[in-house]
């Protein structure tokens, strides 16, 4: 009924004692997610929000059986925190921090290469399996369990699309924000593969933007096979001026790179149904899921 996270996910928080770490950990615990520990160097032996604090990730994993992490530390500390989580062999690591230096993320990408860790982010709103697991900063008030998988580059559009789907009786299996930075962990293709394997996900929503090549990779992947499930896409930025960053770091198109229209055309050619605005997504989904 979900991908990457679920009822058996046990989360530790790197940066739990900060204001943001405290707020979002408390919210997720109140939602019902199993959080088991915090990590803050120099604070080992203390407790926070009723959770034990450890000096390092490896010790926290050994003592609590944690298999996932939320990284919510300042940008200059992100690379070391992520590499520590990878070396501790955590299954899923979610990083919500923005403005992580790209040369730091290059180090993280090298560490990920031979690991089994799934990295979501950085600059991600996180991952949410309704009623079971929330890691990150994604709102939960409109989330409902169901059969629609959502994967997105945009935090604000994710919230809007999720609310529109729920209002039309379309619950979600898992919603994932892959992150708004140019260098990040998993992408559209990784999520599409997982959703394809998930028997309870009956359709997928893909929310794209200008910049990067996530949409092009998704189009190439989908064009090479019979995916077996309907995919609906919304790609924003059709009227964005060339060469200007629109929002977060990943929405900066390179010289000569495809704009929103080109991305939309490639996805459409791969059999993806295109929505022109968030309100059209439930309609598109209902058309294909009821046939």
Residues of the chain with pLDDT under 50: 255
pLDDT digits (tens, 9 = 90+) for 209-260: 988 899 999 999 999 999 999 999 999 977 666 655 555 555 555 545 678 8
Same structural domain, 53 and 116: yes
Domain hosting 62: range is: 1-124
Give the per-residue pLDDT at 247: 58
Distance CA 286, CA 291 (A): 8
Q: What is the DSSP letter of 257?
A: -
Give the per-residue pLDDT at 144: 98
Give the per-residue pLDDT at 291: 56
Give the per-residue pLDDT at 243: 59
Q: Is residue 130 part of a domain?
A: no
The mean of the pLDDT values for the chain is: 93
Same structural domain, 108 and 151: no
Same structural domain, 174 and 199: yes
Choosing from 142, 184, 248, 277, which is the catalytic residue? 248
CATH no. for residue 249?
A: 3.40.50.261
DSSP H helices in the chain:
19-31, 57-64, 78-87, 102-112, 155-167, 188-197, 214-223, 260-269, 280-289
48 is catalytic: no
Q: Is residue 230 part of a domain?
A: yes
Give the per-residue pLDDT at 82: 98
Same structural domain, 50 and 81: yes
Give the per-residue pLDDT at 237: 78
CA 201 to mean position of chain CA atoms: 17
Q: Is residue 104 part of a domain?
A: yes
Beta strand residue intervals within the chain, DSSP E: 11-14, 35-39, 47-48, 51-54, 68-71, 92-95, 118-120, 126-129, 133-136, 145-152, 172-177, 203-208, 231-235, 273-274
Q: Is residue 248 part of a domain?
A: yes
Give the per-residue pLDDT at 127: 98
Same structural domain, 81 and 174: no
Give the per-residue pLDDT at 255: 45
Q: What is the DSSP letter of 243?
A: T
Same structural domain, 5 and 108: yes
């Amino acid at each position: 009924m979900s991908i990457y996270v679920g009822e058996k996910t046990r989360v530790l928080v790197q940066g739990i004692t900060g204001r943001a770490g405290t707020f979002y950990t408390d919210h997720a615990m109140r939602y019902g997610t199993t959080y088991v520990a915090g990590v803050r160097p120099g604070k080992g032996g203390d407790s926070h929000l009723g959770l034990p604090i450890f000096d390092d990730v490896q010790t926290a994993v050994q003592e609590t059986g944690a298999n996932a992490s939320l990284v919510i530390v300042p940008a200059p500390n992100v690379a070391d925190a992520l590499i520590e989580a990878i070396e501790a062999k955590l299954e899923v690591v979610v990083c919500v921090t923005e403005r992580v230096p790209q040369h730091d993320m290059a180090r993280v990408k090298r560490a990920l290469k031979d690991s089994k860790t799934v990295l979501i982010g950085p600059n991600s709103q996180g991952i949410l399996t309704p009623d079971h697991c929330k890691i990150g900063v994604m709102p939960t008030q409109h989330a409902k369990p169901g059969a629609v998988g959502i994967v997105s580059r945009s935090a604000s559009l994710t919230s809007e699309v999720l609310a529109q789907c729920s209002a039309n009786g379309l619950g979600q299996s898992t919603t994932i924000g892959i992150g708004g930075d140019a260098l990040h962990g998993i992408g559209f293709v990784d999520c599409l593969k997982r959703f394809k394997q998930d028997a309870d996900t009956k359709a997928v929503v893909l929310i794209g933007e200008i910049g990067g090549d996530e949409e092009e990779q998704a189009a190439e992947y989908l064009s090479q096979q019979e995916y077996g499930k309907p995919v609906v896409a919304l790609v924003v930025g059709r009227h964005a001026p060339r060469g200007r960053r629109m929002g977060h770091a990943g929405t900066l198109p390179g010289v000569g790179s495809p704009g929103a229209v080109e991305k939309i055309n490639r996805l459409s050619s791969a059999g993806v149904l295109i929505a022109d605005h968030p309100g059209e997504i439930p309609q598109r989904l209902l058309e294909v899921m009821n046939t």
